[in-house]
């Protein structure tokens, strides 16, 4: 039996389990499909299939929650964490793929594991500025601004980051803290020679976005502008958290929804653009458990 046919059969099996109310078996079978997809190469349909199966798993999780069959909502097992990290690494560039995988873990609420993996990447010198920013984002997502500040100060006395990167991080973190109303006297990076080899050219593709204002296009709040802090960013894809209590916003942010009017707030400018909701994840643990993480792909205005 070909792998394609095996995947097709497993999806049907998982669908039947779900229809019969066998939710745990359905989720387990969908995860088997993700494992098979991980080993099928990088074909054009692979990402669509992965996204479709991931959406079904999230729906099963919602069904489990409704049925109170998933008591306690524990941290995902190491095997599932590893699966998420591998399956959601789409870039053909190995370093970017490694970062994508760890960001995916964080989007599923696995912040502690993501911090461990990001630190390993930083020690290896993999995309240092991108990784360092995501380490700070994880601390902030865990509602630990003091940990983020301490981390920045520790980097000042290490050789993991260039002075150029440290200066960028000071502006980046300071802007986020200011928007949260937190006063922090972040130490200034000492002037000196900037090591270009340890620089941050990998971050030059898209402007850092710290928060966004989105004009809603559906529901009773149509036409209203709502603002969100950016939790994660990978190139022109940003992730924002919408509390579960904001039901109308959650409903209006369906994957594929066009967002024609977006305000983009960065440390150096306020811009307007447009975008598309490209993903939706229910956060499974941590201080934002039960809320929703939405991915928005930004296009220039």
Contact 67, 98 (CB under 8 A): no
The string of pLDDT tens digits covering residues 8-17 is 888 888 887 7
- Domains along the chain? 3-71 (1.20.58), 94-203 (1.25.40.10), 211-300 (2.40.10.220)
User: What pLDDT is stored for residue 210 in this prediction?
Assistant: 85
Residues listed for the chain: 301
Q: Do 273 and 264 contact (CB within 8 A), yes or no?
A: yes
Residue with the bigger pLDDT between 92 and 195: it is 92
pLDDT digits (tens, 9 = 90+) for 22-39: 777 788 888 888 888 877
Per DSSP, what are the bridge partners of residue 233?
238
Asked if the model's pLDDT at residue 116 lies above 70, the reply is yes
- Predicted confidence (pLDDT) at residue 70 exceeds the cutoff of 60: no
Coil, helix or strand for 271?
strand
Determine contact, residues 238/200, Cβ cutoff 8 Å.
Answer: no
Q: Work out the pLDDT band at 57, boundaries 50, 70, 90.
A: confident
Averaged over 104-118, what is the pLDDT? Answer: 89
pLDDT, tens digit, 9 for 90 and up, residues 224-261: 888 988 888 888 889 999 988 888 888 888 888 899 99
Instruction: Give the span between the Cα atoms of 229 and 245, in whole angstroms.
Output: 17
Mean pLDDT across the stretch 149-155? 94
Q: What is the pLDDT of residue 201?
A: 45
Report the percentage of the chain scoring pLDDT > 70.
Answer: 88
- If we measure between CA atoms, which residue out of 257, 254, 298 comes closest to residue 280? 254
- The whole-angstrom separation of Cα 148 and Cα 169 is 11
Give the pLDDT confidence of 132-142 residue by residue, as tens digits: 999 999 998 88
Is residue 185 a contact partner of residue 173, using CB atoms and an 8 Å limit? no
pLDDT at residue number 67:
60
Q: Look over the chain and give the mean of its residue pLDDT values, rounded to a whole number.
A: 82
Q: Assess whether pLDDT exceeds 80 at residue 131.
A: yes
Do 23 and 63 form a contact (C-beta atoms < 8 A)? yes
Can you tell me the distance from the alpha carbon of 244 to that of 247, in angstroms, rounded to the nearest whole number? 6
Q: Supply the pLDDT for residue 148.
A: 92
Question: Who wins on pLDDT, 21 or 208?
Answer: 208
Which range among 64-68, 69-73, 99-103, 295-299 shows the weakest confidence by mean pLDDT? 69-73
pLDDT (mean) for 65-77: 55
What's the pLDDT tens digit per position in 73-105?
456 778 878 888 887 787 888 998 999 999 988
Confidence of residue 122 (pLDDT cuts 50, 70, 90): very high
In tens, the pLDDT along 256-288 reads: 889 999 999 887 778 888 999 988 888 876 677
pTM of the model: 0.67
């Amino acid at each position: 039996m070909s792998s394609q046919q095996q995947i097709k059969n497993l999806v049907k099996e998982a669908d039947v389990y779900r229809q019969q109310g066998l939710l745990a078996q359905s989720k387990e079978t969908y995860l088997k499909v993700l494992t098979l997809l991980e080993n099928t190469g990088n074909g054009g349909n692979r990402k669509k299939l992965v996204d479709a199966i991931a959406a079904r798993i999230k729906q099963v999780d919602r069904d489990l929650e409704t049925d109170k069959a998933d008591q306690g909502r524990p941290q995902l097992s190491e095997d599932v964490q590893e699966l998420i990290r591998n399956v959601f690494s789409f870039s053909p560039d190995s370093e970017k793929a490694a970062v994508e995988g760890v960001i995916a873990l964080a989007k599923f609420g696995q912040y502690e594991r993501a911090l461990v993996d990001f630190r390993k990447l930083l020690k290896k010198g993999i995309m240092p500025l991108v990784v360092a920013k995501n380490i700070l984002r994880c601390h902030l997502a865990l509602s630990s601004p003091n940990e983020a500040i301490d981390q920045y100060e520790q980097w000042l006395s290490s050789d993991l980051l260039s002075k150029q990167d440290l200066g960028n991080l000071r502006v980046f973190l300071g802007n986020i803290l200011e928007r949260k109303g937190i006063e922090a006297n972040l130490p200034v990076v000492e002037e000196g020679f900037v090591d270009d080899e340890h620089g941050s050219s990998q971050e030059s593709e898209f402007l850092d976005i710290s928060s966004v204002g989105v004009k809603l296009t559906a529901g009773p709040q149509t036409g209203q502008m709502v603002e969100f802090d950016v939790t994660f960013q990978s190139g022109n894809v940003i992730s924002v958290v919408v509390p579960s209590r904001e039901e109308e916003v959650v409903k209006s942010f369906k994957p594929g929804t066009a967002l024609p009017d977006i305000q983009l707030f960065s440390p150096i400018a306020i811009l307007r653009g447009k975008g598309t909701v490209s993903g939706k994840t229910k956060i499974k643990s941590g201080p934002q458990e039960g809320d929703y993480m939405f991915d928005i792909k930004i296009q220039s205005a």
